[in-house]
Amino acid sequence: MARIKGKDTGIERKLRSALFAKGFRYRLHVRALPGCPDLVFPGRRKAIFVHGCFWHLHEGCTGYRLPRTRQDFWLPKLEANRERDRRTLSALRWKVAIVWECELKNLARVLKRLSSFLADEKH
């Protein structure tokens, strides 16, 4: 578990480079905000969270499968992640977008959605 990264994951880097190429500038992991969002656009008061399908229980996704062993360990741990996500979203007073790991298989669709999310009015 020590080798599992919470920042600068492959899916996060993929999204960041695509947004940067589109001309969007952001701040990374602003600890002053609840939940420490992955990408923060302070001038727009918007944030993006990049969620791994397994770690954040993306149900209905092929990336979410509960391990067959030690379910008494994994289920409470993953449910706690989901509950923490709910608390974070309610505490953060900015507009928030969540990008799931499985969505990045179609990067063009994600970029289209995020471009419209970020292009909205500033406040």
Is residue 63, in this structure, part of any structural domain at all? Answer: yes
Residue 46 CB-half CA count within 13 A: 18
pLDDT digits (tens, 9 = 90+) for 51-104: 988 888 888 887 777 888 998 999 999 999 999 999 999 999 999 999 999 999
pLDDT at residue number 5: 58
Q: How far apart are CA 26 and CA 41, in angstroms?
A: 5
pLDDT at residue number 29: 93
- Tell me, what CATH number does 42's domain have? 3.40.960.10
Is residue 1, in this structure, part of any structural domain at all? Answer: no
Is residue 101, in this structure, part of any structural domain at all? Answer: yes
Is residue 67, in this structure, part of any structural domain at all? Answer: yes
- Give the residue numbers spanning the domain of 35: 10-116
State yes or no: pLDDT of 121 exceeds 70. no
Q: Where does residue 70 fall: left (phi above 0), alpha (psi -120 to 50 degrees), or beta otherwise?
A: left
Is residue 4, in this structure, part of any structural domain at all? Answer: no
Residue 110's nearest CA partner among 58, 50, 52, 38 is 50
pLDDT at residue number 122: 55
Start-end of H helices in the chain: 10-21, 71-91, 107-119
Q: Give how many domains the chain has, as a whole number.
A: 1
Is residue 37, in this structure, part of any structural domain at all? Answer: yes
Is residue 3, in this structure, part of any structural domain at all? Answer: no
Is residue 5, in this structure, part of any structural domain at all? Answer: no
pLDDT digits (tens, 9 = 90+) for 6-22: 677 888 999 999 999 99
- DSSP category for residue 27: E
